[in-house]
């Protein structure tokens, strides 16, 4: 890469797009973001008045213009302020960017959307986009800054990463792209920056089974999460699963407990969102930034605070 | 005393890995007349050849023995090296110590080394007896005969004619054009077949260097490359082509009894006994089909006409209408036509293919008029077809023709022919099928897509189903063509149709399988199109036999080498192209035709051909004229002549290939095969029999 | 929902095609294209999308490739009660790899949209829509213990705490097809 000349200290600012799951189910993820970003020099805007992205089972299943209109209202909240959105939920990331891609590709959709937005005195020009927190940390904040900012490191700890489908595909619609979406490296490198080992495992890019699949047929959904967990256990015997998606977080954490109860698995691997893990490493209160879970996390958090495994 | 140089090649590890080169060298050095022994990693490489040349130029050696791979591929290389250095190239001998030694005895190194010694010793023994020989040249006839006037034959003829060669284009049917003339439009560009073909037909017919022999067939072929003598039978046309202007006045006068299925329309309509194959025929001349003609006037050609009461001769309708008297029956005509003889230097076979008839496929209701072959579909959608391109179900073609007749006569008439709503295509009918042909016919996937596309574009409401085993559209532009079809909404179903059932209303119940959904499917179709296999013409074997070329197990003409000599045959001077060689599309047929033409050109252009002097010669003093040799010669090179009043064998040097059969058979040892004389071969055998010891001369 | 019994052991293509012509103004494939799967007809049934589809993996019947084929031959009725499209996780791995750029995900979602038109919509989806309209959140919880527990204000800075924004969102929804279809009460 060409080295950049004197990096100007540009103030980073993003609209924090929460989404339903983080707002109500996993607010500890929200709290983690509210802690780490200011500490890393990233300003957060609350994006007051934001709504559901809209998630896949709602307007996207009814019609495309409606989907885009709801998404455009959210995106416009950032556009009005001249900032991009930032999310820690892959579903939001996918829905907002797919919608934006459709509007940019098809002027007809864009103009229909703006006709609707006009009724509430808003407009969307396609400028503001939704960034993923993982990419903001990786690209805008940078691995060096992350390394400098942590108090605790993950020495000797093995993590299994779960970037999640909407972090990768369809690569065409996303503002940031993995070099090889079938062998994603960003989350692995982010974890390595914290001192962890984040090895490859065979089912790294496989779907966790969350979302529509889980609501339509939980039993079938559990087949996938079980396959994934077993692969993690067998191939890399991870101490911890780290994801950058709130949906994957819920599925891996929650379904794991159900599988244990049904006697389908006999192990337990704690699950954290990456922003939670980073917040812990930066020294924030685990109760606030990682206080909600089904599969117990205490041991691994203790391990981290005691300086890793070694 | 000859000075023999022996050059031993390591062939990388190929020889040196099994044969102890040093040991062999020491042995060879002691052989009689050997003055130089050298070895090298690759003798055939430039530096390797240079070693030999250097020794020759310095006068060190005057006989060369190379012990290396095989003379099959490398003898010409080393001969040339000798020649380049100023040595007669027949002072060269090769010992095969790789294919027949190191490779064969890879795990027995000692024995391999021993064998190599003996093989080289034998070669040295022969080299001592070598004689210088001179290359010979035979004159070549520069005319070419092209058999078959389809697109392949036309292109081959045109290329040759443009290059200045005289071409005889021999075509079996009354017109050139072949199967391409029957096609409506052609993939992958969908240009109209007649529009691109007709100008070429005219061009080839009018070319000053082309002599067109239509309605003619090859009867016999004699001679060899450069000098073939061909007998061609011009079939009896029963119409005087000098007079016939192709006006077509006679076409519709034959009575119904004299009407037979029209070949050009693939049997979808009838033609009279007197007919012109199709409107764009070249030459546009009528012929009378003697099997169909019922001799309306009650007389055959040359017979006295019957007369009316008032003594006027009774003429057949055709005679009557013909404005030029071309089909007059006054003169007798030889039913065997005329036999002519051509002398040509090379022959190109471009006799094409035929499609399988639907009658073979009992499971597909072949009796139904609405089950048709794809070639029939081409006729049905063609503007020159039985319905002028109007799409109706084939079972209603008779109704259409009736209607047309009435309208032409100026009568009021209503056409009551049914239009199809559903058309189903069935792939691989007779191809990829152990019961018929195991090969893939190669063009049907594309032409089915083509026909479906043409139909769908013209009639968007048609429901078209294509049942495929798999879609084969390899190469440039073809898969894109397939995509276009899909995007038109043609329903493409993976899975073959296993049965077609006739319904009382002449529609058809099609039973197929959808492999994607894993279920059998059924539908009612107005027309079922069978993509029947492309197969060799029935008379192809016979023609091949006359030409001394081979057909493969599947019945198409066989090329000399699939990869390296794709348009050559085992008979020198005879080339093949187009579908006679195997199923292929027009672009490939044309490419092959041009390849065949240029192969013939590069053969004939020099006007003479070098032949190796390694042929047999009869010593008339020893020959007793016993007559054993001539019948044995596979090339017919031997004849018996009078020498000093006695019968003696004589070998035609232009024909002899040096196979040696006669030499071995002659009880009087009167025949010498140059390069393999008795003395030379015996010296080799004796040397080996004595385990490498060469008998002193 | 039960996996459909709609598809008989032998598929009668003539019936399927005739029904398509008689009963609907548009062909199923045309509707699916209109509903967002623009490249539907390019599908060559290679099966790549099915090889990696989570739905195919766990035993749903009408996963991407098969659904596309059924649509291409004109099936519709038989598919309306099938749950598979509603299970699509929109992972879009299929879109990424399809050699014909069909975007099978779009077909799954277009099928959802077609089903919605025919009112073959699962209750859960209705719930989500109603919640979206009422609260601005498809997933909504009245209990706020979790937020309090981690030290956050009870209400997120969303439509949940901004009445004007909620009204804006409702206005938007009222101007979309959702309102046309009348799937949920909208005041
Ligand atoms: C239904 C159908 C559709 C097709 N559509 C297309 C298409 O769209 N595009 C495309 O590229 N290809 C198409 N093809 C293939 C195309 O027809 C062939 O590639 C092409 O016609 C081959 O030309 P040819 O000259 O080798 O053979 P032919 O066209 O068969 O010509 C051979 C000629 O030799 C004559 N002949 C035969 N035996 C003798 C003999 N013993 N002595 C003298 N003359 C003899 C024949 O009368 C004939 O005139 C199609 C084929 C079929 C069956
Ligand atoms: S005599 Fe003439 S008109 Fe009569 S059948 Fe023969 S060719 Fe036809
Ligand atoms: S080209 Fe196609 S239809 Fe013809 S035999 Fe081959 S695979 Fe079958
Ligand atoms: S990957 Fe694309 S072309 Fe292949 S079956 Fe799926 S949609 Fe069709
Ligand atoms: S997007 Fe839907 S159809 Fe495509 S692979 Fe994922 S679950 Fe299957």
Residue A2 pLDDT > 50, yes or no?
A: no
Instruction: Could you please state the CATH topology (level 3) that the domain comprising A143-305 is classified under.
Output: Rossmann fold (3.40.50)
Pick left, alpha or beta for residue A213 (phi over 0 → left; psi -120 to 50 → alpha; otherwise beta).
alpha
The answer, yes or no, to whether any atom of ligand 1 lies below 6 A from the CB of B264, is no
Inter-chain residue contact B517 with C70, CB threshold 8 Å: yes
Q: Considering only CA atoms, which of A113, A82, A78 is closest in space to residue A92?
A: A78
User: Is residue B546 domain-resident?
Assistant: no
pLDDT in tens, A24-39: 999 999 999 999 999 9
* Neighbouring subunits of B (3+ Cβ pairs under 8 A): C
B425-451 average pLDDT score:
97
| CA–centroid distance, residue B477 to ligand 4 (Å) | 20
Inter-chain residue contact B523 with C12, CB threshold 8 Å: yes
Inter-chain residue contact B523 with C17, CB threshold 8 Å: yes
C43 touches chain B (CB under 8 A): yes
Residue A1 pLDDT > 50, yes or no?
A: no
B463 and B578, same domain (yes or no): no
B520 and B583, same domain (yes or no): no
User: Is residue B694 domain-resident?
Assistant: no
B645-663 average pLDDT score:
90
Mutation site for B-interface testing, chosen from C73, C82, C84 by largest number of B Cβ within 10 Å: C73
pLDDT in tens, B314-324: 999 999 999 99
Residues of B in contact with C11 (CB under 8 A): 514, 517, 519-522
Decide: A and B in contact? Rule: 3+ Cβ pairs under 8 Å.
no
B627-648 average pLDDT score:
91
B255-262 average pLDDT score:
96
pLDDT in tens, B263-279: 999 999 999 999 999 99
The angle formed by the CA atoms of residues B426, B427 and B432, to the nearest 5 degrees, is 140
Q: How sure is the predictor about C4, in pLDDT bands with cuts at 50, 70 and 90?
A: very low
| CA–centroid distance, residue B609 to ligand 5 (Å) | 69
Residue A242 pLDDT > 50, yes or no?
A: yes
Residue B611 pLDDT > 50, yes or no?
A: yes
Best residue among B353, B439, B440 to mutate for probing ligand 3's pocket (most ligand atoms within 8 Å of CB) is B440
- Counted domains in chain B: 5
Residue C74 pLDDT > 50, yes or no?
A: yes
Residues of A in contact with C178 (CB under 8 A): 59, 62-63, 66
The full DSSP string for B439-494 is S--SSHHHHHHHHHHHHHHH-TT-EEEEEESS----STTHHHHHHHHHHTT-EEEE
Sequence-ordered alpha helix ranges (H) in C136-175: 145-149, 163-174
Q: Are A53 and A66 in contact (CB under 8 A)?
A: no
C101 touches chain A (CB under 8 A): no
> In terms of CA atoms, which chain B residue is nearest residue C73?
B491
What pLDDT, on the 0 to 100 scale, is given for residue A6?
A: 47
B11 and B125, same domain (yes or no): yes
pLDDT in tens, B65-108: 999 999 988 999 999 999 999 999 999 999 999 999 999 999 99
Q: How sure is the predictor about C5, in pLDDT bands with cuts at 50, 70 and 90?
A: low
> In terms of CA atoms, which chain B residue is nearest residue C102?
B487
B77 and B58, same domain (yes or no): yes
What pLDDT, on the 0 to 100 scale, is given for residue A8?
A: 52
Radius of gyration of chain C (CA): 20
To the nearest whole Å, the CA of C1 is away from the closest chain B CA by: 21
User: Is residue B162 domain-resident?
Assistant: yes
> Structural domain of residue B29, as residue ranges?
4-133
Q: How sure is the predictor about B136, in pLDDT bands with cuts at 50, 70 and 90?
A: confident
A15-24 average pLDDT score:
97
B186 and B317, same domain (yes or no): no
Residue that finishes a domain, picked among B273, B303, B333: B333
Residue C37 pLDDT > 60, yes or no?
A: yes
Best residue among B316, B319, B329 to mutate for probing ligand 2's pocket (most ligand atoms within 8 Å of CB) is B316
B480 and B391, same domain (yes or no): yes
Residue C168 pLDDT > 90, yes or no?
A: yes
User: Is residue B384 domain-resident?
Assistant: yes
B452 and B514, same domain (yes or no): yes
| CA–centroid distance, residue A102 to ligand 3 (Å) | 41
Residues of C in contact with B465 (CB under 8 A): 13
B299 and B240, same domain (yes or no): yes
CATH number of C14-119: 1.10.1060.10
B419 and B526, same domain (yes or no): yes
Residues of B in contact with C29 (CB under 8 A): 489
Decide: C and B in contact? Rule: 3+ Cβ pairs under 8 Å.
yes
Q: How sure is the predictor about B1, in pLDDT bands with cuts at 50, 70 and 90?
A: confident
User: Is residue B489 domain-resident?
Assistant: yes
Classify residue B312 by its DSSP letter.
P
User: Is residue B682 domain-resident?
Assistant: no
Interacting residues of A282 by C-beta distance below 8 A, sequence separation 6+: A35, A36, A39, A149, A150, A151
User: Is residue B498 domain-resident?
Assistant: yes
B574 and B642, same domain (yes or no): no
> In terms of CA atoms, which chain B residue is nearest residue C40?
B487
What's the pTM value of the predicted model, to 2 decimals?
0.84
What pLDDT, on the 0 to 100 scale, is given for residue C2?
A: 37
- Quote the distance between the C-alpha of residue B605 and its chain's center: 22
Q: What is the CATH number of the domain that holds B208?
A: 3.50.50.60
Inter-chain residue contact C96 with A220, CB threshold 8 Å: no
For B568, the enclosing helix (H) or strand (E) is: none
B578 and B638, same domain (yes or no): no
Architecture of domain A12-132: Up-down Bundle (1.20)
Mean pLDDT computed over every residue of chain B: 95
B14 and B119, same domain (yes or no): yes
Residues of C in contact with A215 (CB under 8 A): 124
Residue that finishes a domain, picked among B133, B162, B180: B133
Residue C1 pLDDT > 70, yes or no?
A: no
């Amino acid at each position: 890469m060409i080295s950049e000349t004197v990096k100007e200290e540009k103030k980073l600012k993003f609209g924090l797009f929460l989404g339903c799951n983080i707002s109500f189910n996993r607010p500890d993820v929200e709290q983690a973001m509210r802690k780490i970003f200011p500490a890393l020099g990233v300003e957060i805007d609350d994006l007051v008045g934001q709504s559901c992205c809209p998630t896949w089972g709602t307007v996207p299943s009814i019609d495309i213009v409606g989907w885009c209109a709801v998404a455009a209202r959210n995106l416009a909240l950032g556009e009005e302020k001249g900032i991009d959105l930032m999310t820690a939920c892959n579903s939001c990331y996918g829905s907002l960017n797919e919608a934006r891609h459709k509007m940019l590709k098809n002027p007809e959709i864009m103009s229909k959307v703006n006709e609707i937005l006009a009724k509430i005195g808003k407009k969307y020009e396609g400028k503001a986009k939704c960034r993923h927190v993982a990419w903001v940390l990786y690209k805008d904040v940078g691995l060096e800054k992350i390394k400098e900012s942590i108090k605790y490191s993950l020495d000797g700890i093995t993590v299994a990463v779960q970037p999640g489908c909407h972090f990768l595909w369809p690569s065409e619609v996303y503002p940031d792209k993995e070099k090889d979406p079938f062998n994603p490296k960003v989350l692995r490198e982010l974890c390595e920056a914290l001192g962890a080992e984040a090895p490859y495992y065979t089912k790294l890019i496989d779907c966790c089974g969350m979302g529509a699949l889980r609501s339509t047929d939980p039993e079938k959904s559990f087949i996938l999460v079980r396959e994934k967990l077993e692969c993690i256990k067998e191939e890399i015997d991870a101490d911890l699963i780290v994801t950058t998606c709130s949906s994957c977080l819920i599925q891996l954490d929650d379904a794991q407990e159900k599988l244990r109860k049904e006697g389908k698995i006999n192990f337990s691997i704690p699950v954290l969102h990456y922003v939670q893990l980073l917040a812990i490493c930066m020294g924030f209160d685990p109760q606030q930034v990682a206080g909600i879970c089904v599969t117990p996390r205490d041991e691994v958090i203790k391990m981290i605070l005691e300086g890793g495994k070694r | 005393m000859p000075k023999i140089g022996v050059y031993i090649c390591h062939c990388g590890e190929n020889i040196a890995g099994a044969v102890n080169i040093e040991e062999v060298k020491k042995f060879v050095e002691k052989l009689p007349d050997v003055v130089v022994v050298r070895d090298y990693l690759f003798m055939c490489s430039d530096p390797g050849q240079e070693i030999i040349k250097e020794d020759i130029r310095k006068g060190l050696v005057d006989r060369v023995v190379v012990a290396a791979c095989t003379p099959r591929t490398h003898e010409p290389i080393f001969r040339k090296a000798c020649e380049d250095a100023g040595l007669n190239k027949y002072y060269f001998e090769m010992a095969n110590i790789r294919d027949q030694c190191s490779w064969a005895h890879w795990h027995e190194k000692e024995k391999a080394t021993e064998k190599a010694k003996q093989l080289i010793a034998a070669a040295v023994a022969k080299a001592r007896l070598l004689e210088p020989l001179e290359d010979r040249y035979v004159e070549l006839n520069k005319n070419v005969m092209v058999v078959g006037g389809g697109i392949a034959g036309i292109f081959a003829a045109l290329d040759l004619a443009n290059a200045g060669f005289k071409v005889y284009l021999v075509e079996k049917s009354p017109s050139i054009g072949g199967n391409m003339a029957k096609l409506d439009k052609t993939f992958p560009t969908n240009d109209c077949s007649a529009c691109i073909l007709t100008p070429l037909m005219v061009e080839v017919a009018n070319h000053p260097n082309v002599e067109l022999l239509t309605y003619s067939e090859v009867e016999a072929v004699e001679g060899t490359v450069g000098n073939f003598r061909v007998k061609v039978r011009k079939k009896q046309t029963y119409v005087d082509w000098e007079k016939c202007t192709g006006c077509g006045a006679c076409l519709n006068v034959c009575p119904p009894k004299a009407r037979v299925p029209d070949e050009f329309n693939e049997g979808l309509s009838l033609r009279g006994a007197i007919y012109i194959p199709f409107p764009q025929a070249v030459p546009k001349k009528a012929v009378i089909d003697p099997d169909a003609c019922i001799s309306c006037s009650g007389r055959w050609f040359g017979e006295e006409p019957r007369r009316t009461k008032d003594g006027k001769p009774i003429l057949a309708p055709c005679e009557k209408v013909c404005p030029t008297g071309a089909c007059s029956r006054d003169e007798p005509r030889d039913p065997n036509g005329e036999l002519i003889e051509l002398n040509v230097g090379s022959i190109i076979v471009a006799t094409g293919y035929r499609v399988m008839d639907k009658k073979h496929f009992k499971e597909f209701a072949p009796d139904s008029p609405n089950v048709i072959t794809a070639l029939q579909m081409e006729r049905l959608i063609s503007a020159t077809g039985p319905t002028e391109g109007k799409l109706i179900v084939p079972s209603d073609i008779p109704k259409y023709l009736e209607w047309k007749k009435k309208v032409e006569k100026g009568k009021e008439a209503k056409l009551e022919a049914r239009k199809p709503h559903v058309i189903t295509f069935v792939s691989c009918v007779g191809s990829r099928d152990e019961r018929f042909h195991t090969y893939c016919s190669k063009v049907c996937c594309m032409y089915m897509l083509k026909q479906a596309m043409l139909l769908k574009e013209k009639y968007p409401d048609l429901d078209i189903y294509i049942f495929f085993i798999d879609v084969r559209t390899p190469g440039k532009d073809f898969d894109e063509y397939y995509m276009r079809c899909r995007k038109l909404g043609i329903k493409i179903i993976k899975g073959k149709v296993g049965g077609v059932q006739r319904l009382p209303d002449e529609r058809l119940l099609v039973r197929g399988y959808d492999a994607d959904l894993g279920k059998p499917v059924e539908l009612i179709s107005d027309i079922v199109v069978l993509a029947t296999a492309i197969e060799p013409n029935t008379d192809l074997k016979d023609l091949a036999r006359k030409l001394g070329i081979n057909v493969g197990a599947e019945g198409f003409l066989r090329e000399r080498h699939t990869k390296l000599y794709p348009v050559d045959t085992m008979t020198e001077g005879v080339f093949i192209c187009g579908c006679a060689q195997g199923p292929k599309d027009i672009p490939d047929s044309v490419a092959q035709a041009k390849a065949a033409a240029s192969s013939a050109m590069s053969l004939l252009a020099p006007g003479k051909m070098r032949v190796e002097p390694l042929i047999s010669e009869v010593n008339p003093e020893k020959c007793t004229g016993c007559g054993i040799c001539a019948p044995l010669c596979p090339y017919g090179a031997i004849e018996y002549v009078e020498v000093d009043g006695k019968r003696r064998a004589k070998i035609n040097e232009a024909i002899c290939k040096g196979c040696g059969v006669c030499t071995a058979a002659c009880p009087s040892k009167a025949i010498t095969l140059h390069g393999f004389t008795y003395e030379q071969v015996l010296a080799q055998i004796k040397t080996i029999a004595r385990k490498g010891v060469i008998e002193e001369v | 929902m039960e996996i459909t019994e709609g598809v008989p052991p032998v598929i009668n293509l003539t019936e399927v095609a005739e029904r398509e012509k008689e009963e609907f103004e548009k062909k199923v494939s045309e509707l699916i294209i209109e509903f967002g799967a623009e490249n539907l007809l390019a599908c060559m049934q290679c099966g790549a999308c099915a090889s990696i589809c989570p739905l195919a993996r766990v035993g749903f019947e009408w996963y991407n490739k098969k659904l596309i084929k059924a649509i291409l031959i004109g099936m519709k009725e038989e598919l309306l009660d099938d749950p598979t499209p509603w299970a699509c996780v929109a992972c879009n791995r299929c879109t990424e790899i399809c050699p014909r750029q069909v975007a099978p995900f779009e077909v799954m979602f277009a099928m959802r949209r077609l089903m919605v038109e025919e009112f073959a919509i699962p209750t859960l989806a209705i719930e989500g829509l109603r919640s979206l309209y009422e609260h601005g959140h498809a997933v909504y919880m009245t209990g706020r213990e979790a937020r309090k527990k981690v030290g956050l204000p009870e209400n997120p800075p969303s439509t949940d705490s901004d009445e004007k924004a909620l009204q804006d969102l409702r206005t938007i929804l009222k101007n979309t097809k959702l309102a046309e279809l009348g799937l949920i009460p909208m005041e």
